[in-house]
């Protein structure tokens, strides 16, 4: 059965819409409590709630907590905290459930709700479906619970302090916090290692999260790196579970380049578990070429970091992620963590003595182009004959030298098209054909 509300990363949508408002948050909280108790959780089970910096997060958090309390749980607030820090808090405090009120890299007009089960691991599709089945039709209780505050920052900062074995004296780093949840964490860790940190997107006002800054908009970070002669730039998304980097020349590295750098160093030192890297279907074919040449193997999953995590656990792998910048270092955290990824890359720079501009050369990307088309309705892909025929024809033409990926976003009303191939000209022509086919079948906004 298909989930109605949950996407690839929780429930997400325009704040004030039918599925992202205080009434829905209460219902979702009540349903989650019912699901916990159906699984045998004790009455009064602790549920930790964190959020990003969006103004709407305050009232959504309270409504969610009220629904959880109505269902017999004991909700507590972590206040503003990165998503991976919420995951850690669930583990360290043995909570029954963790919740993050965030829309990640989306604009401030959106918000969302995602869950972590015991151990700080994201829920499976089946678990989310079970919660949906328990959603009450309406809010039935107007009681407002008194939310207790729980400190989640201290444990997180303590854990991050041990990732780097050396201090960063003389390092100048540009950090873009996207005016989001990492504003009090990533900079603190880098400064604790004695780096000189130049900040961007560090003044959240509730409305400016991801607004021209962060991992989706790295231009300011890149310009600042060039201006100040920094070693690298780090840009997070709004909730801190991803990052993109830029080298000392101000050129962006995406998740594929980060994963390749980490995987090759781990293979060289004999520390890549099962000699396996897990990526999604979105990752460039060049990642497989580089890792395979170094003696490793690459496994692919559907798009979504939790699918990566599920496959990592099945394979016994400890490194995986997405080209978007979700990087999972499972020996540190069971979920994506943008700060951990950045620290691990810095550790490679320290170990090799090489700048990012040199380390990134390990990945030779196949020419790739992608586009995200806004749609009014996500019609089933199998019901789009023109697009299906074009996709099949292009894949046959490319053969083993390329690939086509057609999918809907799991968090937005967008159709995502991707083509990889042997030359940029072939890729562009193929993508143009796909876009034309999509317009023939769909109402593109």
In whole angstroms, what is the distance from residue 106 CA to residue 62 CA?
21
- At 359-402, the pLDDT tens digits run 999 999 999 999 999 999 999 999 999 999 999 999 999 998 89
Instruction: Of 326, 378, 405, give the one whose Cα is nearest residue 105.
Output: 326
How confident is the model at residue 1, as a pLDDT? 67
Alpha carbon 220 to its chain centroid, in Å, reads 21
**How far apart (Å, rounded) are the C-alpha atoms in residues 190 and 166?**
11
Hey, which CATH number is domain 11-153, 3.90.1170.50, 3.40.50.300, 3.90.550.10, 3.40.120.10?
3.40.120.10
DSSP, collapsed to helix, strand or coil, labels residue 19 as coil
Burial (CB count <10 Å: 0-12, 13-18, 19+), residue 256: buried
CA distance 106 to 301: 23
Three-state SS for 45?
coil
Domain ranges within the chain, ordered by starting residue? 11-153, 165-250, 254-362, 368-441
| Cα distances (Å, whole numbers) of residue 248 to 44, 214, 242, 270 | 51, 18, 20, 28
Give me the mean pLDDT over the 279-285 stretch.
93
Mean per-residue pLDDT, 287-296: 96
| Dist CA 325 CA 338 (whole Å) | 7
The model's pLDDT over 47-86, given as tens digits with 9 standing for 90+, comes to: 999 999 999 999 999 999 999 999 999 999 999 999 999 9
Say if 11-153 and 254-362 have the same CATH topology.
yes
Q: What tens digit of pLDDT does each residue of 193-224 get?
A: 999 999 999 999 999 999 999 999 999 999 99
| Mean pLDDT value of segment 339-365 | 97
Q: How many angstroms separate the CA atoms of 242 and 105, rounded?
A: 9
Statement: residue 409 has pLDDT above 90 = no
pLDDT of 8 above 90: no
Query: What pLDDT digit, counting tens, does each position of 90-122 carry?
Result: 999 999 999 999 999 999 999 999 999 999 999
CB 96 within 8 A of CB 39: no
Residue 274 to residue 276: CA distance in whole angstroms: 5
DSSP 8-state secondary structure symbol assigned to residue 119:
T
CATH architecture of structural domain 254-362: 3-Layer(aba) Sandwich (3.40)
Strands 319-321 and 276-280: parallel
Between CA 263 and CA 323 the distance in angstroms is: 14
| CB proximity list for 225: less than 8 A, separation 6 or greater | 174, 232, 233, 246, 247, 248, 249, 250
- Output the pLDDT for position 401: 87
Q: Where are the extended beta strands (E) located within 87-231?
A: 97-101, 110-116, 148-149, 172-176, 196-200
| Mean pLDDT value across residues 347-362 | 97
Residue 4 pLDDT > 80, yes or no? yes
pLDDT tens-digit readout, 420-435 = 999 999 999 999 999 9
Please list, in sequence order, all residues whose beta carbon lies within 8 angstroms of the beta carbon of residue 137, skipping any fewer than 6 positions away: none
Question: 3-class secondary structure for 258-303?
Answer: HHHHHHHHHHHCCCCHHHEEEEECCCCHHHHHHHHHCCCEEEEECC
Q: Which residues of 400-415 are buried (b: 16+ CB within 10 A; e: fewer)?
A: eebbbbbebbbbbebb
Cα–Cα nearest to 333, from 260, 259, 241, 236: 241
Q: List, by residue number, the catalytic residues.
A: 104
**Residue 371 φ/ψ, nearest 5 degrees:** -150, 150
Which pLDDT score, from 0 to 100, does residue 411 have?
74
Please name the CATH architecture into which domain 368-441 falls: 2-Layer Sandwich (3.30)
**Percentage of residues in the chain having pLDDT higher than 90:** 93
Whether the pLDDT of residue 240 is over 90: the answer is yes
Q: Which residues are bridge partners to 278 per DSSP? A: 299, 320
Q: In CATH, what is the architecture of 165-250?
A: 3-Layer(aba) Sandwich (3.40)
The sheet that has 46-51: what strands, in order across it? 11-14, 110-116, 97-101, 46-51, 74-80, 148-149
State yes or no: pLDDT of 229 exceeds 90. yes
Q: Compute the distance between CA of residue 92 and CA of residue 81 in angstroms, rounded to an integer.
A: 15
Distance, in Å, from the CA atom of 404 to the CA atom of 421, rounded to the nearest integer, reads 9
Confidence class for position 312, pLDDT limits 50, 70, 90? very high
Question: Mean pLDDT in the chain?
Answer: 96
């Amino acid at each position: 059965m298909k989930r109605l509300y949950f996407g690839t990363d929780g429930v997400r949508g325009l704040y004030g819409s039918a599925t992202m408002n205080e009434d829905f948050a209460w219902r979702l909280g009540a349903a989650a409590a019912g699901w916990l108790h159906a699984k045998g959780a004790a009455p009064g089970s602790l549920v930790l709630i964190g959020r990003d910096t969006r103004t709407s997060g305050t009232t959504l958090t309270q409504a969610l907590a009220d629904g959880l309390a109505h269902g017999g749980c004991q909700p507590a607030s972590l206040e503003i905290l990165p998503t991976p820090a919420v995951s850690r808090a669930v583990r360290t405090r043995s909570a029954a459930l963790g919740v993050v009120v965030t829309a990640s890299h989306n604009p401030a007009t959106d918000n969302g709700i995602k869950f972590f089960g015991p151990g700080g691991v994201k829920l499976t599709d089946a678990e989310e479906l079970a919660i949906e089945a328990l959603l009450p039709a309406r809010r039935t209780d107007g009681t407002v619970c008194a939310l207790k505050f729980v400190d989640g920052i201290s444990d997180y900062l303590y854990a991050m302090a041990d990732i780097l074995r050396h201090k960063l004296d003389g390092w100048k780093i540009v950090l873009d916090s996207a005016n989001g949840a990492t504003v009090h964490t990533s900079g603190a860790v880098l400064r604790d290692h004695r780096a000189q940190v130049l900040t961007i997107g560090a003044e959240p006002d509730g409305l400016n999260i991801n607004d021209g800054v962060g991992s989706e908009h790295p231009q300011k970070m890149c310009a600042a790196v060039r201006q100040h002669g920094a070693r690298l730039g780090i840009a997070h998304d709004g909730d801190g579970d991803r990052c993109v980097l830029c080298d000392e020349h101000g050129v962006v590295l995406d998740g594929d380049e980060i994963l390749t750098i980490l995987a090759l160093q781990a293979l060289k030192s004999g520390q890549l578990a099962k000699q396996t890297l897990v990526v999604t279907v979105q990752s460039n074919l060049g990642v497989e070429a580089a890792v395979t040449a170094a003696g490793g193997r690459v496994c692919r999953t559907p798009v979504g970091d939790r699918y990566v995590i599920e496959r990592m656990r099945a394979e016994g792998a400890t490194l995986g992620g997405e080209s978007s910048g979700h990087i999972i270092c499972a020996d540190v955290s069971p979920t994506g963590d943008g700060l951990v990824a950045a620290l691990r890359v810095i550790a490679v720079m320290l170990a090799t003595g090489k700048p990012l501009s040199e380390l990134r050369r390990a990945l030779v990307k196949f020419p790739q182009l992608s586009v995200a088309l806004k749609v009014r309705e996500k019609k089933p892909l199998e019901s789009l004959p023109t697009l299906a025929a074009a996709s099949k024809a292009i894949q046959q033409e490319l053969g083993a030298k390329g690939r086509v990926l057609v999918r809907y976003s799991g968090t937005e009303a967008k159709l995502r098209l991707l083509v990889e191939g042997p030359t940029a000209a072939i890729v562009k022509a193929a993508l143009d054909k796909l876009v034309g086919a999509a317009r023939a079948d769909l109402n593109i906004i």
